[in-house]
């Protein structure tokens, strides 16, 4: 039997952030092979962040690292969003990666899948991680706009009738909900149980509400709620930004190429997520900073 260590190092990475205390905070626990599932879940609950990522030895051929991520409610997350990006940012910033010039490719193992990524290390620029998501799948569409709006604490007129709300999946299926404007996005106050019921009815995990009047040249202004995973609100959601841009490109509301999503403003943690769509390829890019390092005494 492998002995469980009593002192465990951890690091907090603010993902999709240019400075500390912005973006999406992600606890990363490296060298976590000796931790069992129950201990990982307990640590994620202790941090009480949207997700906590543990780095363990890969099991798939060709994978460089295996990532396991848990929500505070104990759910394991299978998508590649800020939970994965933060881990690779920490590996690069901590000198744990053998970087060859300005661009180095790796393979990450998440939920039994091998997903490619690239670490960019351009001179004079922040380290950036570019992750490949799965080809988009366009899935369930809710048919009761009044009920969807009510589950979000909004009036029916706050939900646009000229654009469909739809579940889109590039690794995790989230419901994209078009709202009239930024004010409507900021007014959303979800009824957790009611929204969870609405999401399950269409096969969605979380709800990504958005408007098209985003600041700073971004294509959308967003908030993310995931009651099915115990996440009240998330300040930056890569597994939702990829599907949203794929949907907007498909609808002719965003061009192919790179688009920016704004998220986290309502929480006081502004985040900018970069998504590139090239045909069926969806790539998520971002940088971040290490804001905390410490030791768990268990």
Domains 7-132+288-297 and 137-279 share a fold: yes
CB atoms closer than 10 angstroms to residue 92: 20
Structure token pair of residue 260 = 């920016």
Task: Say whether 246 sits in a helix, a strand or coil.
Answer: helix
Bridge partners for 275 per DSSP: 259, 284
Q: Tens-digit pLDDT profile for the chain (298 aa)?
A: 566 668 999 999 999 998 999 999 999 999 999 999 999 999 999 999 999 999 999 999 999 999 999 999 999 988 888 999 999 999 999 999 999 889 999 999 999 999 999 999 999 999 999 998 999 999 999 999 999 999 999 999 999 999 989 999 998 999 999 999 999 999 999 999 999 999 999 999 999 999 999 998 999 999 999 999 888 999 999 999 999 999 999 999 999 999 999 999 999 999 999 999 999 999 999 999 999 999 999 8
- Does domain 137-279 bear CATH number 3.40.1160.10? no
State the Cα–Cα distance between residues 196 and 225, nearest whole angstrom. Answer: 10
Rounded to whole angstroms, the Cα distance separating 95 from 213 reads 40
- Give residue 129's pLDDT: 97
Q: Give the pairing type, strands 103-110 and 65-70.
A: parallel
Mode of pairing for the β-strands spanning 137-138 and 128-133: unpaired
**The domain over range 7-132+288-297 is classified in CATH as 3.10.310.10:** yes
For the chain, the domains span 7-132+288-297, 137-279
Which pLDDT does position 79 carry in this prediction? 80
d(CA 116, CA 105): 7
């Amino acid at each position: 039997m492998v002995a469980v260590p009593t002192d465990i190092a951890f690091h907090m990475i603010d993902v999709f952030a240019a400075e500390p205390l912005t973006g999406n905070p992600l606890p990363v626990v490296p060298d976590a092979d000796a931790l069992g599932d129950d201990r990982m879940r307990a640590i994620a609950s202790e941090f009480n962040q949207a997700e906590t990522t543990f780095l363990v030895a890969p099991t798939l051929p060709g994978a460089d690292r295996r990532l396991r991520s848990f929500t505070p409610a104990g759910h394991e997350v299978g998508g590649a969003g800020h939970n994965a990006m933060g881990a690779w940012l920490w590996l690069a910033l901590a000198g744990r990666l053998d970087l060859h010039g300005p661009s180095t490719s790796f393979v990450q193992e998440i939920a039994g899948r091998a997903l490619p990524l690239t670490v960019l290390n351009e001179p004079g620029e922040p380290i950036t991680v570019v992750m490949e998501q799965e080809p988009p799948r366009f899935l369930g569409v809710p048919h009761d706009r009044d009920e969807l709006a009510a589950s979000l604490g909004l009036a029916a007129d706050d939900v646009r009738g000229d654009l469909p709300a739809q579940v889109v999946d590039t690794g995790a299926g989230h419901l994209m909900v078009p709202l009239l404007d930024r004010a409507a996005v900021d007014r959303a106050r979800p009824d957790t149980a009611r929204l969870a019921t609405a999401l399950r009815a269409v096969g969605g995990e979380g709800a990504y509400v958005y408007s098209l009047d985003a600041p700073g040249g971004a294509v959308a202004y967003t908030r993310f709620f995931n009651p099915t995973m115990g996440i009240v609100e998330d300040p930056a959601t890569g597994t939702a930004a990829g599907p949203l841009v794929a949907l907007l490109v498909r609808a002719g509301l965003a061009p192919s190429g790179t688009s920016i999503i704004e998220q986290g403003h309502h929480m006081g943690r502004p985040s900018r997520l970069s998504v590139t769509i090239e045909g069926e390829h969806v790539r998520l890019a971002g940088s971040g900073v290490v804001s905390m390092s410490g030791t768990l005494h268990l």
